[in-house]
Structure 1
Amino acid sequence: MFKKINQFYLESIIYSGDLSFGSPRNEGNSILATIQRHDKLSEFIHRHKLTSRESEIFCLIALKGYTNMQIADYCVISDKTVKNHIVKIMNKVGSRSIRKVLSNLILDLLTLPSSETV
């Protein structure tokens, strides 16, 4: 059930245009497929209660490696607004840097649930 909710949530973000990379129906499908293979990305976003804009910015950093200026251009917002969103993401995750947030995500991706441990 939780997996279906995550999939629905991610599809609604991607296809609503909030997380579209290029054409939501073309490149967005590859992003969705990547996220579905790594279900923990959606869990990470839900656990830390990131808004759709924060999720978009976080994914642009984590999946595309965008700089603040690239994010500002892509989202048609100011560099200051990007920085504000990044600060909100860091506060929600409880980290002092975006690198630490990414490190937390990587640790989540590498950590197997207790039912899958050998």
Structure 2
Amino acid sequence: MLLTLDLNDPRPLHEQVAAAIRRAIGAGDIAPGDRLPPARDLAHALGVNANTVLRSLRDLRDEGLLEFRRGRGVSVLRRPDGRAALRTRARDLLDEAVKYGLTPDDVVALVRDVGKEMA
């Protein structure tokens, strides 16, 4: 499992780690039923503190994506709901847009323009 973090991302590290794991599950790199490596190993691979990874894993457990089992580690329960994931990203986009003085209507128009360019 190859996870990466963006050092320029302004989000807290635990959110970035959770997003990276969520993406890996959504992309099928990690399937439901698969066990994740120990938090210590993930932390070492990502260059973050083990407590940061544990917080991310707890967040994903609270979302219903992961299951913690004593003696068996952390397993993937299900894939994330794409609509819910996009909703989170849309919130992030709107938060970023506010920094540039854009309204939600401006962002909608921008997304429509990009959609037309991609079609």
TM-score (norm: length of structure 1) = 0.35
Q: Which has the larger radius of gyration?
A: 2
Higher strand fraction: Structure 1 or Structure 2? 2
TM-score (norm: length of structure 2) = 0.35
Higher helix fraction: Structure 1 or Structure 2? 1
